[in-house]
Structure formats: C-alpha cells, structure tokens
Chain A
C-alpha cells in the first residue's frame, strides 16, 4: 500500500502540528508512518536532530513494543514515553498506520502535552481520512 498526500493535506497537517504542538515550546515534532517514512517534520530551529534515523528507530521501537504487547496478550500500547535528563520523547499512534513523535524539554508539562497531542491526533486523523491510498 502507498499513499499520496496533496498540498492541502500536508499544509493542514503542518498547521495542526505547529499551532497545537510546536507553539507549546516543543523542540521537534515528527509525523511518520509505521514503515519509518517521514510525513511531516517540524523543529524549533535550534535542534539539528537526524530525523531520518529517529524515524527509523521510532518505527522499529514502536513495532517492537507492539509485538511484545501481542505476546503478553495486550492489544496494543497506544503511546510510549521515554524520559531523559533534559530531553523527553513521546510517541502516540495516529489511526493504525502513523506515529506522532514529539521531543521536548522539562519546561513542558507532560499532562498538558498529552492533552494537546490527543487533540492534534483527532484533527490529523480527520485529514488522513481523505487520503488517497493506492
């Protein structure tokens, strides 16, 4: 399966990611598919992360956790969170095929971030519903 994203959809997605997430003071937001392809990628201009490697590892990591979930009889883990000393990473599933990865410092409240992540996921899901799949 492949999918085509047009200008309008991409603009829509980037607008949601910018207004709902980046504007909270996040360092980096990446929307990827479960194969590790990057759909949208925003950063605050101060971090220069290797987003291609991050996307591949995030997809692999999420895939591994879901496969473990299946082995222990859990349906799925819809989100994952890794806490570091200065940087934190949050992963959430968008529909079945996509993953939203956010990277943020300790100045951002996790609770508030989760709320905003949920909001943006439902907005992005609506945009994806109009996506052409081939």
Chain B
C-alpha cells in the first residue's frame, strides 16, 4: 500500500524480504544498514529470538533518492522464514508493494525454497494480491560463496527451473554475507516497484 504525497513529491513503498528460514534475509538488511548507517538517523529494528532467528521482522528505512522527480522512501522489512511463524509473517506482508525472494542456494534447501515461494503466494492471496500477475518481485540466489568451501549448491539452472520458470522475475546471484549483489538486488526491487506503481496510475 504505497503512499504518494503530492505536496512533498514523495512516494513511500514497502519492500519485504521473503524466503526460507536461515536463507540470509536478515543478513541482506544488515549489510544494507552497514552501507547507509553513516547517513541515516534511524536504527535497524530487529525483533528476534535469542538465537538470532527473526521472530517478527527486521526493519530498515532505505532511501534511494529520486526516481522521475519523486523522492522514493523505501521501508525494507524481512519476515521470519521459519514455517511455524506464519501468523507474524502474514502480518508483515500487509501493505507490501514489492518482494525480494531470498533463496538459499544450498542443495539441502531445495524443497524449503519451493515451499517458501508457495507460502508467499498464499499469503499474498490473503491480501488479494496475485504473485503471478505482474507483482513486483526480484529473485536472489544467495550463499553462492559456499561453493568455494565445497558445500554442495544448486545450479542457477535448477534454481531458475524450481522457482522462476513461471514468474520470469529478474534474478541475482548473491552472497549476503560478503555483500555481493546485495545493493543491486534492492535497487532492482525498488525500481520495479516504483514502475509498477506508475503503471497503476497511468
């Protein structure tokens, strides 16, 4: 549910990071916070368990500057990825304008990635949003760095086949831990979201 403030020439959009538990959603926001903390007054807010698993959400305001004469103010959120936290996950998705789907590249996570995307579809449907009908979403295939450590990871072809064959969303190979493609992912998500808003208005 974007808010457009004509007086201030400002758009507020909400982008939510979704994906299986331990996939690296919080790590994405932590990296972004590290990149912007010197120029924002706000803190990153995290509601989590003692074991650092997201319980409710992480939150970070992230401004990308102007797009087409409008100041775009973005609120980034992560949901808890663990299956058992669907009630809070659903709440965070309220009013979502765009999604970053963080898939875990580890081979053992294959089914969890697929289940998480399916759960996203259901949760969006709860808010009358159709994931498969022009919904702004970017795929991030995370933890690519693990290959160097000999951890078996899924190929991009497999990930594309499993998660993106129908969606055909833009995707990024990333490592949230090192920051590789973290900024590229968020920029793409914000641009897509703003463009889709414009399509609604015009």
| Closest A residue by C-beta to B197 | A2
Residue of A nearest to B76 (CB): A56
Q: Which of B3, B4, B6, B77 is the one whose CB lies under 8 Å from A56?
A: B77
A37-B95, A63-B94, A64-B88 known; A53-B59 Cβ under 8 A:
yes
Whether A134 and B201, one on each chain, are in contact in the complex, defined by CB atoms closer than 8 angstroms, is yes
Chain A interface size, under 10 / 10 to 19 / 20 to 34 / 35 or more: 20 to 34
A67 interface contact, C-beta 8 A? yes
Supposing A1-B1, A6-B7, A36-B14 touch, asked if A60 and B95 sit within 8 A by C-beta, the answer is no
Cα separation A1 to B4 with both chains bound (whole Å) = 12
* A1 to B97 Cα, complex, angstroms: 9
Contact B96 A35 (CB under 8 A): yes
Q: Give the interface size bracket for B toward A.
A: 20 to 34
Q: B92 interface residue, CB < 8 Å from A? A: yes
Q: Does chain B have a CB within 8 A of A108?
A: no
Q: Does B61 contact A (CB under 8 A)?
A: yes
Of B12, B47, B87, B88, the residue contacting A37 (CB under 8 A) is: B12
Q: In this assembly, does A129 line the interface, its C-beta being within 8 Å of a C-beta of chain B?
A: no
B41 within 8 A of A: yes
A39 within 8 A of B: yes
B59 pairs with A35, CB closer than 8 A: no
A39 to B88, CA, bound (A): 24
Shortest Cβ distance from B12 into A: residue: A37
Min CB gap B179→A, angstroms: 23
Are A2 and B59 also in contact (CB < 8 A) when A52-B42, A57-B45 are? Answer: no
Q: What are 17 sample pairs from A and B whose C-beta atoms fall under 8 A apart? A: A2-B4, A5-B3, A5-B5, A5-B7, A10-B5, A33-B1, A33-B3, A33-B95, A35-B1, A37-B75, A39-B3, A50-B43, A53-B59, A56-B45, A57-B45, A60-B56, A67-B91
Identify the A interface with B (CB < 8 A): 1-7, 10, 33-39, 50, 52-53, 56-57, 59-60, 63-64, 67, 97, 134
CB contacts (< 8 Å) of B17 on chain A: these are: none
Which residue of chain A is the closest to B87 with respect to CB atoms? A67
B141 interfacial by beta-carbon distance below 8 Å: no
- Give A57 to B61 CA distance when docked, in angstroms: 13
Measured between beta carbons, the chain A residues less than 8 angstroms from B3 are: 2-3, 5, 33, 37-39
- Are the C-beta atoms of B56 and A64 separated by less than 8 Å? yes
A1 to chain B, nearest CB (A): 5
Top 6 nearest A-B pairs (CB, nearest first) are A35-B95, A2-B2, A63-B91, A56-B59, A52-B61, A37-B3
Tell me, rounded to whole Å, the shortest Cβ–Cβ distance linking B17 to chain A: 14
Q: What chain A residues lie within 8 Å of B56 (beta carbons)?
A: 60, 64
- Residues from chain A with a CB closer than 8 A to the CB of B101 are none
B14–A35 touching, CB < 8 Å: yes
